[in-house]
Each structure stands twice: as C-alpha cells, then as structure tokens.
Amino acid sequence: MEGRIPMSTKDLERLEVLKEVSEHRLTQAKGAQKLGVTPRHLRRLLCRFKEEGPKGIVSRKLGAPGNRQLSLEQKDLILSFFQNEDHRDFGPTLAHEYLTKDNSFMASTSAVRTVMIQNGLWNSKKIRKAKMHYLRPKG
C-alpha cells in the first residue's frame, strides 16, 4: 500500500458509483445521472479510475497553489512601497493607484489590501467596527 488518500465525501460517493458502473451493476447513464455529470465525463472518470485506482478520483490540483496568486515579486513590490515614510498612511486604493502609475504594477486593489492585512499595514472592516457605543444616561 502506498499510504492514505485524502478524499472528500463527494469523492467517496464518486468512488462508490464508479465501482458499481465498472462491475456492471449500474448503467453509465444512471451513474452519470447520480453523479450529476454527463455520460461522456463519466467514461473519462472510469478510464482514470481503471488506470490509477481510487487515487485517480481525487483532484490533481489538491494542495497546489492557486493559479491567481500574487507572485513573490509583486508582494515584495507592495511591501517595499510601504517602506517609504510618505506612503505609510496610505489606504489600499491610493497605494494601488500609486503602484500602477509608477511601476506598471498589474494587480487589483483587493490584492493590495490582502497583502496589507497579512503584514499588519491595514485593519479589515470587521476589526475596525468593534467599537462599543454606550447608551446616554436617562435624565
């Protein structure tokens, strides 16, 4: 045995249906209907299941970094921008405007905000709204 395979409940349900289809206890059309996929996609899943076994059902993208992540160079550029004393009090929107104007920076304002929050340069709205407002005394 190679080891453990992390599977979600959806993957386990797929595994059961694919076993039934491969043992001819369930038709491909009914199996596809159970899984909510097309019969053609079910055949693709079956081929992968026969070649790789249960490991073939789990997404190959599991544990890999996301495609839309900021690169380290972009994160370093944002952080180096805030090293300047004049830029320390900038918000995410103004910082994004300066970065795109000066450095041909290609990322969204929300990406700048995320990097700022991760490095303690900006507080999210949830944290800022935690102020308590007391009632005035009656009288």
Answer whether residue 20 is part of any domain. yes
Higher pLDDT, 111 or 126: 111
For the segment 24-28, the average pLDDT, to the nearest whole number, is 95
pLDDT at 8 exceeding the cut of 50: yes
Grade residue 134 by pLDDT with cuts at 50, 70 and 90: confident
Is residue 131 a part of any domain in this protein? Answer: no
The 10s digit of each residue's pLDDT in 41-67 is 999 999 999 999 999 999 888 888 888
Q: Burial level of 68, CB count in 10 A (0-12/13-18/19+)?
A: exposed
Q: Is there a domain that residue 66 lies in?
A: no
Mean per-residue pLDDT over the chain, rounded: 89
Mean pLDDT of 105-114: 90
On whether residue 133 sits in a domain, the answer given is no
Q: Cβ(56)–Cβ(39) under 8 Å?
A: no
Number of domains in the chain: 2
Its pTM stands at 0.55
Half-sphere exposure of 133 (CA within 13 A, CB side): 1
Q: Give the closest residue to 116 by CA, choosing from 128, 108, 126, 124.
A: 124
Whether 17 is covered by a domain: the verdict is yes
Shared domain check, 79 and 35: no
Predicted pLDDT of residue 1: 47
In a domain? residue 1: no
96 plus 51 within the same structural domain: no
- How would residue 123 be classed by pLDDT, with cut points 50, 70 and 90? confident
| 110 in any annotated domain | yes
| Contacts of residue 72, Cβ cutoff 8 Å, sequence gap at least 6 | none
Query: Which range has the worst mean pLDDT, 34-43, 51-60, 126-135?
Result: 126-135
Query: What's the mean pLDDT in 82-94?
Result: 91
Domain that holds residue 90: 72-125
134 belongs to a structural domain: no
